[in-house]
A and B are shown apart, each in its own frame.
Chain A
């Protein structure tokens, strides 16, 4: 099964080529990475037959110590992995194709595609890994790629900050995941993913259910970070600073779904208590993020909160042990959410504007984008027949078996989902443009609830995006319409059988169908009335309360502010205190030592200058003085010389004759 290794290696090879020769390849660069991913699709498809027959394909090799079975790692494909492979490769290819148009004018486009390739390689490694440590390696690599791609336009300070925030926040979850792996290695001594059931029973038989709960919660904490669940969801909305295709691929369809995949893969580890926590966190995230999405005014932020909310829904399903339903929703969500993001990207590409309060009436200028966005919105709102309906239906049915009180809540939240997605669609493509496009002058921030008034948008320079962007969106649109049939009675629940699940519920549940349709319609009505028309159907007495709730949701429940106050500021204060300690005490000691040496040097220099040099100079000066004395004899006057000579001669004569 050597071709298994080729699946992640193909995009990795594209990454290597692009990072070294990308600039020289120029326009060809994107197609290198698309070709590599298309190759991965080919291999994935060739595996379908075997996987559909329930086979598990694997490839394993020794790593580190040959004799220790703990350290043999490998790749393996079963239904779950194959599904993720298909989602990552197909959506990855479509989005890379879209990026050819979106990033055409970017001077660093080749690097962008290199990062995308690296991301796909890491993500494929993550879903193929059959060993916790290998999975963790892929997990960290996708985190790195996410960081690189969020801050791809690092000239923008917000983008750089968003990348940092995403990296640090997910890192917190990753640390939990790593601790979970270490705990499992320590107590179970096994880290192979196909031995998870064995690990569970081993620990349960040793009466270590508590440890199992802790380990599963630590693993879940990693998923919380990656999938942006409360309390680590704060990075995902900020991550929208990255290029839109990145938001679509990484922050909607694939990487954030890795948390769902991880929990689905390791579900046997989860005890009843940890499943309760998974369900609770999923539900809280689903509801809170949904209400925040209702109030945001930036297209991409609405979609980001909607993603968080939908991921929460998947965790609700996982908490109810409905792996099939969760994965089914992951599958359909990947299509319609990627499509929503690409549509938003198309709007941003055409108008250079992503503030909803300044958009509007684009349906005439961009008919294809508008139509595809409508398909995605309808699919997401869960209108029957469209794919979102089938996956939500599956979740509702599965959850209803476990907790009868849940379906009504989820139906209520389906109204919210429909409301925010249609609000986005209507504000973007219908009504009138509110403020002419001109950067820098606009009522930022708060969305007023008053009817649309102000000026008219100049639509003339806005035109539909090029075919290279529309085509991938159209393919995703097909997925958003028909993808759901894979898990419907029409195909005899092929999706669930593929995952090896037993389907307990055959046939269409008519009351549920009606309720879903009603929820979607109600959401649409609310979006139309409140979002587009600006009517507030609240009695006057309840308005202040409504306004306060709106403010609360608009400010994202002040969670960012809370973190700032509770974590970031104390942390900064601590670092500042430490830095002061450094500058005063430690630097003082170091500088003091330096100063001491300097002073000693000064002292020695003075000794040299006075004593040693003084002696040498003194000798020289004495010789000089002596010479000066002798010089006085040498007058150059010949008569004096003669006088001396004669005087001397006379003296000698006198002495000798004495």
Chain B
């Protein structure tokens, strides 16, 4: 219970800091959005627009207003369409969540299995898996995506909407990172004294792998998986752009290109929130699973 409270407090603190950083970055730094957006408009019109957005008030008042609005779940309106940012986010949330969910599912299954196979020495198969993991970690996702689209275009004439391909590509790369950590964990723990003892006692090798090695080496992987949220979200920006899927990533990209500040701020805050919550949740889970951490 104390743990839960502690993690909740740290999550709220980090969230507040992340929100403040976004506020500072998008409000204080050079590059007046109104001027960039409406450079053709008269000075009076620009002034009115600033007034509507409350950008003529002292910065402290603006900050208070920003935090209050945030607590009410308001993120302002898009400079282009005038629609509330929360509404736009809600609309784009589902496609990206879907993409992230399937990618992560694929990544977890292939990452853990691939990592295990690469680590326990079944000569040729392990070597092949080590090679595949190396490729998954090193080949840029935009290159894999391009190649996949090319191959599919030749054989099937084009990538269908709602196809599983983006999730497969993103899952392959995310899983590579997980697999590499699983692999190195297992290889470290294989050397541990308690494993040698188990071997000396004459325990069955596969029993040692499952009961001794995997139990310990998969624990840090829980946290590792949560950390992949960041990777997954950057990957979503690229994947959604490659496969033209209308999700959060493509929204962010369009907003950046149009310098639509409120939308950029909304997306960035949402990404940070998801990441921080997942991270704290994973820390909590690791503490629950690993009795050593609570003593």
Partners in one complex: no
